[in-house]
Amino acid sequence: MIFIIVFLVLTLDQISKFFITQNLQLNQSVPVINGIFYLTLVHNRGAAFGILKNQVPVFILTAVIAVALIFSALKNKKYKATYALSLALILAGALGNTLDRLLNGFVIDFLDFRVWPVFNVADSAITIGAVMLGWSILTEKYAS
């Protein structure tokens, strides 16, 4: 089930990025809900909030380490569903953004609420997964 979730999130991420790049020019912004939510094509050459610009090898190495740690954690069959789902979301997001960096040298971002930096489906998966992971660590005991 974990790999189905990873596949679905990764597919949604890559299809949404493909659709955006086919329909918007770089830095073009289209209102979806005027004044609240826009689709804005941005090439992010950094990490979160654009920090560490043009450090592609660092990001790829970090992602490889994260993916290896997640696979190692998932090899242990003694975990709760929330913990596994959180790792699946983080894994899918890491793979989606790493794929962008490998193919393009940057990450394609397009979800723009104007009060937060522009982001994408992979970023959302990582963020949701990280919150879920923290919650599961703080509130659940692992299966014995």
Please list the active-site residues.
109, 123
Rounded (to 5) percent helix, strand, coil in the chain: 60, 15, 25
3-state secondary structure of 123: helix
Secondary structure letter of residue 47 according to DSSP: S
Q: Give the CB-side neighbour count of residue 101, counting CA atoms within 13 A.
A: 23
Residue 120, Cβ neighbours under 10 Å: how many? Answer: 24
What are φ and ψ of residue 113, in 5° steps? -100, 5
- CA-to-CA distance for 74 and 90, rounded, in angstroms? 12
